[in-house]
Structure 1
Amino acid sequence: MSASTLFKNGWRAALLPVALVVIAQVAATVTQLESDSLASPLDIARAFVSVMADGSLLRATLDTLKAAAIGCVVGVGAGSLLGIVLGLFRIADDALDLTIELLRPIPVVALIPVVMMLLGFGAKMEIVIISLGLLWPSVVLARVAVKEVEPRLMEVSNMLQLGFTDRLVKIVLPAVLPQLFMSLKLAAGYALVVAVTVEITANPLGLGYGIMMAQQALRPAEMFAYLIWIGAIGWLIGVLLNMAQRGFFPAFVKGERR
C-alpha cells in the first residue's frame, strides 16, 4: 500500500472523529457547559496535558500495559499449546472436551473474587485474570487450526514416524502460525479490556484505577482523557500488530482479503 493511499484513507477515517469533536466543543461553548459528568473537548485536552505532565498517566499506562502484555503472553501461550495437543491427540481432545465447554462460558470477571481470595490485590492477581480470560479462546482457535492442517502433511509425518516434537516443529507450527498470530491479535485487544476492567473493579493500579479516581473526585475531563487515551493505545496496538502480520505473513493477509 502506497504512502498516498495510506494518507487518503487516514484522512477519510479522521473526518468523523474530528467532526464529532468540533460539534461537541461548539455545543459545550454555546451551552456554557458546567457539569460533574461531562466535559468539553478543550477541557479534556487540558486535563490530558496535566496528567501527562505530572507523570501519573504514564505510570498508569506502564502498569496496565505490563499486566496486559504478560497476561496475553501467558494466556495465549498456554492456550495455544493446549489447543495444539488437543488437535493432535484425539484421546486428549475427547477427554477434555466437556471440561473445556463447561469452563469456557464462565465470564472472566466472575473469577475476580476467587483470584483475589487466593492472591489478594496487586499485579499478580490482574495477570492471572487476564491469562484466564485468554486461555480458552486460544485453546479453541489453536485446536481448530491444527485440525485444518493439510491431511497429507500429517500422513507424511506418520509415514516418517516423527515424534511429537519433530511433528510439532516441522509440520504443525509452520502450518498454523498465521492462525496463531491472528489469535494473538484478537487477544491483545481483549487483554487491554480485561486489564482496565480488573483495575476498575478490584486492583488499585493502572489506567482503570485512574478512571475510577477521576470519577470519584468529580473530574470528568480527566476521566474522559483517560478513556480516550485507552482507545488510542488500543488503536496503536492494532496498527502495530497489523504491520507485523503484513511483514511476517503477507500471503495469509492477501488470502484474508480475497
Structure 2
Amino acid sequence: MTERRLLRWLRPWVFPALLVGAFEWYARRAAALGSDALAPPSAAARAFMGAALDGSLWQATGFTLGTAALGLLLGAVLGIALGLVLGLSRRAAQLGSLSIEVLRPVPSVALIPLAMLTFGFGVRMELAIVAFATFWPLLVLVQSAVQQIEPRLLEVSRVLGLSARERAFKIVLPAIVPRLFVALRLGVAVALVVAVTVEIAANPNGMGYAMMIAQQSFDPALMLAWLGWIGVVGFAVNAGMVLLQRVVARRMGVLP
C-alpha cells in the first residue's frame, strides 16, 4: 500500500520533471552555441535563492498578493451583492442587462491609462483595475447560480416570512455554495493575472515589475525564476481556495 501511495503521489510530477529536464538540456545547448537569451532551470533556481535571501522575492510577492487580494475582495463583494439582486429580481436583471453587456467586454488593461490619470502609480491604480476585472465574472456567475435555485426553496422562504437578508443568508447562499466557490476560484486566477499584467505594463511594484526589470537587465535566469515563482504562487492560491471550499461546504452542510 505504501508503494502504491508513493507512486500515486509521484505520478503527476513525472511530466513536469521531463519538461524541466528537456528545457535544461536545450538551454545548455543554446548557451554552448553562444546564445544568452535563455537560462537553464538550474541557473533560475540559483537566481531564485538569491532573490529569496536578499528579501526582494518576499517584498514583491507580498505587494502583488496584497493588491490582488484587496482588489478581489472589492470586486467580489460588489459582484456577489449585485449578482444576488439581479438573480432574485427579474425586473432588476432586465434593467441592468444593457449596461452589463456593454461594460463587461471592456478589457481591464484598457483601463490602465484612465486609472493612471485618476490614481497615479501605486496600490490604488492596480487595485481599481483588479476590482474591475474580477467584478464581472463574479456578477455573471452568481446571477446565473441564483437563477437556477429550485423555485420551491424561494417559495418556502416567502411562506416563512423571511426578510430579504434572511432569505439571502439562509436560503440563497447555502444553495449556491459550490457554484459560488467556482466563481471565487475564477476570480482569484483573474486577480493574480491582472495584477501581474498591470505591474508589467505600468506599476513599478510587485512580481510583474521585478520580472520586467530582470528582462531589461538581460538576466534570463532571474526572469525565468520570477516566471516559475508566479506559477507556484498561483498554484498555491488555487489549492488554498479548494481547501477553503471544502471547509465552508462542510460547515454549511453541503458536504458530509
Q: Which residue of 2 aligns with 1:25?
A: 24
Q: Which residue of 2 aligns with 1:86?
A: 86
Q: Within 2, Cα distance between the matches of 1:232 and 1:147?
A: 36
Q: Which residue of 2 aligns with 1:62?
A: 62
CA RMSD of aligned residues (A): 2.1
Equivalent residues of 1:33, 1:40 under 8 A apart:
no
Q: Which residue of 1 aligns with 2:191?
A: 191
Q: Higher mean Cα deviation, 104-113 or 26-35?
A: 26-35
SS for the counterpart of 1:139 is helix
Summarize the Cα distance change of 1:115–1:15 in structure 2 as closer, same or farther, 3 Å threshold.
same
Q: Within 1, Cα distance between the matches of 2:245 and 2:2?
A: 18
Summarize the Cα distance change of 1:4–1:61 in structure 2 as closer, same or farther, 3 Å threshold.
farther
Q: Within 1, Cα distance between the matches of 2:118 and 2:248?
A: 40
1:114 aligns with 2:107: no
Cα displacement string for residues 156-199 of structure 1 (whole angstroms, at most 9, x for unaligned residues): 12223332112112211111222212211111111110000000
Q: Within 2, Cα distance between the matches of 1:36 and 1:123?
A: 35
Equivalent residues of 2:174, 2:254 under 8 A apart:
no
Q: Within 2, Cα distance between the matches of 1:175 and 1:5?
A: 38
Q: Within 2, Cα distance between the matches of 1:74 and 1:189?
A: 15
Shift of 1:52: 1.0
Q: Which residue of 2 aligns with 1:230?
A: 230
Equivalent residues of 2:85, 2:92 under 8 A apart:
yes
Q: Which residue of 2 aligns with 1:176?
A: 176
Q: Within 2, Cα distance between the matches of 1:71 and 1:3?
A: 44
Q: Which residue of 2 aligns with 1:134?
A: 134
Q: Which residue of 1 aligns with 2:205?
A: 205
Q: Which residue of 2 aligns with 1:16?
A: 15
SS for the counterpart of 2:176 is helix
Q: TM-score normalized by structure 1?
A: 0.91
Q: Within 1, Cα distance between the matches of 2:76 and 2:183?
A: 8
The runs of at least 4 consecutive aligned structure 1 residues that moved more than 3 Å come to: 2-10, 27-31, 33-36, 250-254
Cα displacement string for residues 84-141 of structure 1 (whole angstroms, at most 9, x for unaligned residues): 0111112211110110011111111111111111111101110110000011111111
Aligned length: 253
Give percent identity, aligned residues only.
Answer: 45
Shift of 1:13: 1.2
Equivalent residues of 1:211, 1:226 under 8 A apart:
yes
Equivalent residues of 1:245, 1:253 under 8 A apart:
no
Cα displacement string for residues 204-257 of structure 1 (whole angstroms, at most 9, x for unaligned residues): 000000011001110010000000000011111112222222333368689xxx
Q: Within 2, Cα distance between the matches of 1:112 and 1:7?
A: 48
Equivalent residues of 2:138, 2:183 under 8 A apart:
yes
Equivalent residues of 2:76, 2:135 under 8 A apart:
yes
Shift of 1:10: 3.5
Q: Which residue of 1 aligns with 2:240?
A: 240
Q: Which residue of 1 aligns with 2:151?
A: 151
Q: Higher mean Cα deviation, 40-49 or 213-222?
A: 40-49
Shift of 1:7: 4.5
